Structure 1
Amino acid sequence: MSLNPTVAKVTDRIVERSRKTRGAYLDRMRAAAEAGPARAHLTCGNQAHAYAAMGEDKAALAEGRAPNIGIVTAYNDMLSAHQPFERFPELIRDVARKAGATAQVAGGVPAMCDGVTQGQAGMELSLFSRDVIAMAASVALSHNCFDTSLYLGVCDKIVPGLVMAAACFSHLPAVFLPAGPMPSGIPNDEKAKVRQQFAAGEVDRARLMEAEMASYHGAGTCTFYGTANSNQMLMEFMGLHLPGASFVNPNTPLRDALTAAGVRRALEITALGNEYTPAGEVLDERAFVNGMVGLMATGGSTNLVLHLPAMARAAGIALALEDFAELSDVVPLLAKVYPNGLADVNHFHAAGGLGYMIGELLEAGLLHPDTRTVAGGGLELYTREPKLKGGDVVWEDGARESLNEKVLRPASDPFQPTGGLRQLQGSLGQAVIKVSAVAPERHVIEAKARVFHDQASVKDAFKAGEFTEDTIVVVRFQGPGANGMPELHGLTPVLSVLQERGLKVALVTDGRMSGASGKVPAAIHVSPEAVAGGMIAKLKDGDLLRVDAVAGTLDVLTEGVAERAPVIADLGPSHFGIGRELFAAFRGSVGPSTEGACSVL
């Protein structure tokens, strides 16, 4: 199948837009590669410090003839998705020794859980933690002792930050090792119903806690299709995982075997061998287009609209919102995974998963088949699925038909003919809306505005019974420059209740919504943000707004708004406490959300 003309056009535009920055990036990568293995340039004293505690691996490290793996880990045991990584370093070292190589934990990076910080002050550090992770991983690898790298991370900001670091160490191969999703808990629709009942005062906190604990109940990634699982999809579509690695449950024989296979592959693709595969060549324009296509086809997290441009920028590539919008127009929605449907990622994986989906998209000409991948070939390898035979992983042909068309459909009969994300542009600025879970009759909302400066005030107004007519809720001063752009996921139950009462409601904000947001139309990432004097800072209660996901517009219909002076909010309470004072430099230097809200590149 020939490449879809829109996919080709978008790719060519990205290549042209990035020509200068990508060329300079590749020149730097080649210069680093030509310098040879980094350890060869370290003094004896440098190396002695690096190897002092390595026990039985000391001799091999000192000789410097076999590859040394640098492990960057986001392990902690507060994140269920990252707790399984506790076992990984020893497993990796053992596999490396058996291959005649060595491995060292180069460093750890922070990994915060948005599920823990939702609605809390700590959420205001969440987005910036991505850039901190990129910096921390770079510090870890700056010791220059490594021939290849393994990255252990799963969740929301962790994978994007690690990819940014891998791109900056472009001459090193980079293999990402996931931990896998936890087994399925209570049905997602049941969990959502209890949340809405609690918001409406129909059940008590004990019932809410019971439902939450039955949903988040063990080691592994949360099973809904939010940002963490969108990250895992992305790593497979972009060729940084081994094929089929994303959604195998933790602490199973196949999971461990895939980890071991990832170690062996990381050793095979160093500059010391014949299959040198530097990260900078895997992370090219086609890989990022494939990632965007995967995002549309799966109805993935809106957070990736922020993270993909930041990751690409680290590799010298410039993405724009128009790229997402044009790809969305031609990529069909092939999956229905909660919050877009009732199934979770375990059901999706069982139905055929990413291997089936990649095969369908390749057949439809919607993916670049010839990208470089850590698996050693093009994207066709990612239509295969791993099997455990004799203790080792073998890859066999994956599903060619969906095993559950309520969850996963062929490209010829999709859930929707276009992708799940839309770009909005108009007199209020630019924004993004996710419509894959929004009913068609709610794709256009025209109503009066109620304006708030935080989500707590929205909840207070709801409890006071103030929402009695169709309303567009505006929550401003939530952008990256104001308070770090926290997710406003806590609004979902409130707005859902209003919607179920028969009101037409929508959200307009310069903040973020979780990858778990769904059925309520939400125009998010509004740019310019309020703190920069954007139009959203000039709105008042009662202004007539229109959110139109069909036409792709976001407008204020009340006359004279542009002539108003922007409101200036007291942001002091968001700038101190829980470490927020340490992030003033990030708030002061961050770029617009349309460019990834990046503060370090």
Structure 2
Amino acid sequence: MSLNPILARVTDRIRARSAASRAAYLLRVDAATRAAGTARKHVSCANQAHAYAAFEPNDKLVLRQARLPNLGIVSAYNDMLSAHQPFERMPALIKDAARGAGAVAQFAGGVPAMCDGVTQGEAGMELSLFSRDVIAMSTAVALSHNVFDGTLCLGVCDKIVPGLLIGALQFGHLPTIFVPAGPMTTGIGNDQKARVRQNFAQGLATREELLESEMAAYHGPGTCTFYGTANSNQMLMEVMGLHLPGAAFVNPGTELRDGLTRAAAQRLAAITRLGNEYIPIAKVVDERTIANAIVGLLATGGSTNHTIHLVAIAAAAGIYIDWNDFDDLSAAVPLLTRIYPNGSADVNHFHAAGGMGFLIRELLGAGLLHGDVTTVMGEGLARYTQEPWLDGERVAWRASVEKSLDSAVLRPAAEPFSADGGLKLLKGNLGRAVIKISAVKPEHRFVEAPAIVFNGQDDMMAAFKRGELTRDFVAVVRFQGPRANGMPELHKLTPALGVLQDQGYHVALVTDGRMSGASGKVPAAIHVTPECLAGGPLAKVRDGDVIRLDTEAGTLEALVDATEWAARETATANLDANQHGVGRELFFNARANASGAEQGASTFGSTLPGPLPVA
């Protein structure tokens, strides 16, 4: 199948836009690659002694001889995150497998891992987005000892995989494989969970009933099973060729999960410069890979957070993308999955129906993925149309199912749920924003209603509880951008807005904050850029201004006379309360230096080579 012309055109545009920065990045990678032999061979003897001092004798001998690869493990383990608890036992599996492959593995370092599910609606959420860059820097610290020949990155959740990848790309000469932990087994149905949340928002369920429901949904080790940012991460690592094929959605605590962890270590040993083929991460992540990642996100109705994270990831490899690239590809990429919040099924159901192997084969067959990319398997992306199984104690691969086993969850490209992707760009006199429409019914994709302005989510929730929002309106929740307060997710607002929508009101959310990987049935124009604190026009909106949100036309506008709009001053907000508590004091510089959402909300500085495109 020939490449879809829109995908080809967008990829060419990305390549041209990134030519200078990508070339500079590859020159740095080449300079780091030139030294022959193991990395540790070039480190002084005293420094090496420190690196090996605590190892057992046989491994110490291998390290000292400096003839075999040393694999660095960077892990986001903690046992508060259900998704990361399974990582506790993985280093031992990796070290044993590395020895069997003629290598050694060392735990290079840990990175922080916070749970957005715990911090939703709490002050700690204001650290969440910036934790990505802290993780990137922590990854760099772990690898800076310069004694490793390859990297195994153990991470799953929202900011953690993007942070690990950004950090790993600074060591572009090192082969890198991402090792997931897998989703928890299925709990109560997502529809039931959502219903109890809405009942609680209306005072129709007690807190004890809500807690019982939530604990029945989030009940064991593994990733939360809805299709939010964590599971979007796993999809992306597979589409980008950074996982072993089919590794994303195998449950933890199973023989196959352990087998895939061992196989990842063995494969990494083989692709170091001391193995049979050398595949550095800089060769895997190129312009085609980034375009493939956007396609995967669109085809699955993935997390809106990746309209930020993918920009930052690409920039770490010297590649520049913007929301026009997402929007143009969305016109060509069909929606092939229905996973909660886009449907009632969870990722275990998706995996059983055919999963990533079926999805990738369909997209390749439709010319919607670059099949000729390099992956950690060395071959093109066609290898990722296979699924893993256990042949005795060894992991092997076979062709995935030819037909979806549940067309209510996963469909072929010729029979999609929707002809276009799940994300769109909105632009107008309020700035530029993204919206996830894959879970929004067609009758709710156009909203024109008076604005009610709030300077925080708690203000809106208070108004809802007072019964002041029983009408058509657009909630404008502003001063929620990276510079204002770290750009928290506002998922706390979803049940209240869902209740009002179910009551027949036309409602929408417009904000310079984030929503969530679980953005659902209420239309939400999010990541509005420029943010209010940076002089964004959203700060001009007043109560009663009519706001038009039109996903078909791709517009987000305040219907205010142009002369009046130009003369209107931007509002200010008192953000003192967002500067202190739960460690927010330590993130002052992160807020001050953060780039806009379309530039990746990066604390490392702007990641686009020029100004934002003209709205």
TM-score class, shorter: over 0.9
Distance in 2, Cα, partners of 1:330 & 1:108: 40
Q: What aligned pairs does 1:299-448 form with structure 2 within 5 A after superposition? A: 299-448=301-450
- 2:68 corresponds to: 66
- 2:18 corresponds to: 18
- 2:27 corresponds to: 27
1:230 aligns with 2:232: yes
Distance in 1, Cα, partners of 2:600 & 2:304: 12
Distance in 1, Cα, partners of 2:92 & 2:208: 40
**Residues 538, 562 of structure 1: 8 Å contact kept:** no
Distance in 1, Cα, partners of 2:26 & 2:320: 14
| Residue 376 of structure 1, CA deviation | 1.6
Distance in 2, Cα, partners of 1:431 & 1:99: 48
Distance in 1, Cα, partners of 2:102 & 2:445: 58
Q: What aligned pairs does 1:82-481 form with structure 2 within 5 A after superposition? A: 82-481=84-483
| Residue 160 of structure 1, CA deviation | 0.1
Per the alignment, in what secondary structure is the counterpart of residue 182 of structure 1? Answer: coil
| Residue 442 of structure 1, CA deviation | 0.9
- 1:45 corresponds to: 46
- Report which stretch shifted further, 14-23 or 27-36: 27-36
Q: Match of 2:34, as an amino acid?
A: E
1:580 aligns with 2:584: yes
| Residue 101 of structure 1, CA deviation | 1.2
- 2:571 corresponds to: 567
| Residue 371 of structure 1, CA deviation | 0.4
| Residue 562 of structure 1, CA deviation | 3.0
**Residues 539, 561 of structure 1: 8 Å contact kept:** no
**Residues 535, 562 of structure 1: 8 Å contact kept:** no
1:144-180 CA-partner distances (Å, limit 9, x unpaired): 0100110000000000000101111100000000000
Distance in 2, Cα, partners of 1:330 & 1:465: 43
1:594 aligns with 2:598: yes
Distance in 2, Cα, partners of 1:562 & 1:511: 24
Per the alignment, in what secondary structure is the counterpart of residue 13 of structure 1? Answer: helix
Distance in 1, Cα, partners of 2:601 & 2:258: 36
1:429-465 CA-partner distances (Å, limit 9, x unpaired): 0000000000001111000000001111111100111
- 1:521 corresponds to: 523
Percent of aligned positions that are identical: 63
| Residue 39 of structure 1, CA deviation | 1.0
- Report which stretch shifted further, 482-491 or 529-538: 529-538
| Residue 561 of structure 1, CA deviation | 2.8
| Residue 181 of structure 1, CA deviation | 0.1
- 1:492 corresponds to: 494
Distance in 1, Cα, partners of 2:206 & 2:275: 61
Q: Match of 2:584, as an amino acid?
A: R
1:336-384 CA-partner distances (Å, limit 9, x unpaired): 0000000000000000001001000000000000100001211000000
Distance in 2, Cα, partners of 1:72 & 1:263: 13
Distance in 1, Cα, partners of 2:560 & 2:466: 27
Counting matched residue pairs gives 601
| Residue 274 of structure 1, CA deviation | 3.2
Q: CA RMSD in A?
A: 0.7
1:90-147 CA-partner distances (Å, limit 9, x unpaired): 1111111122211101000000000000000000000000000000000000000100
- Report which stretch shifted further, 124-133 or 35-44: 35-44
- 1:54 corresponds to: 55
| Residue 334 of structure 1, CA deviation | 0.2
Q: Match of 2:407, as an amino acid?
A: E
**Residues 61, 102 of structure 1: 8 Å contact kept:** yes
Q: Match of 2:23, as an amino acid?
A: G
| Residue 541 of structure 1, CA deviation | 0.6
Distance in 2, Cα, partners of 1:139 & 1:468: 52
1:273-302 CA-partner distances (Å, limit 9, x unpaired): 231000011010000111100000000000
Per the alignment, in what secondary structure is the counterpart of residue 59 of structure 1? Answer: helix
**Residues 225, 516 of structure 1: 8 Å contact kept:** yes
Distance in 2, Cα, partners of 1:298 & 1:400: 19
**Residues 69, 102 of structure 1: 8 Å contact kept:** yes
**Residues 150, 176 of structure 1: 8 Å contact kept:** yes
| Residue 504 of structure 1, CA deviation | 0.2
Per the alignment, in what secondary structure is the counterpart of residue 235 of structure 2? Answer: helix
- 1:537 corresponds to: 539
Per the alignment, in what secondary structure is the counterpart of residue 393 of structure 1? Answer: strand
Per the alignment, in what secondary structure is the counterpart of residue 176 of structure 1? Answer: strand
Per the alignment, in what secondary structure is the counterpart of residue 490 of structure 1? Answer: helix
Distance in 2, Cα, partners of 1:137 & 1:581: 23
Distance in 2, Cα, partners of 1:509 & 1:583: 22
- 1:502 corresponds to: 504
Distance in 2, Cα, partners of 1:374 & 1:100: 19
Distance in 2, Cα, partners of 1:538 & 1:561: 8
**Residues 371, 378 of structure 1: 8 Å contact kept:** yes
| Residue 35 of structure 1, CA deviation | 2.0
1:238-283 CA-partner distances (Å, limit 9, x unpaired): 0000000000000100000000110000000001123100001101
| Residue 563 of structure 1, CA deviation | 1.5
Distance in 2, Cα, partners of 1:562 & 1:408: 48
| Residue 55 of structure 1, CA deviation | 1.2
**Residues 445, 504 of structure 1: 8 Å contact kept:** yes
Per the alignment, in what secondary structure is the counterpart of residue 451 of structure 2? Answer: strand
TM-score by length of 2: 0.97
| Residue 400 of structure 1, CA deviation | 1.2
Distance in 2, Cα, partners of 1:45 & 1:492: 57
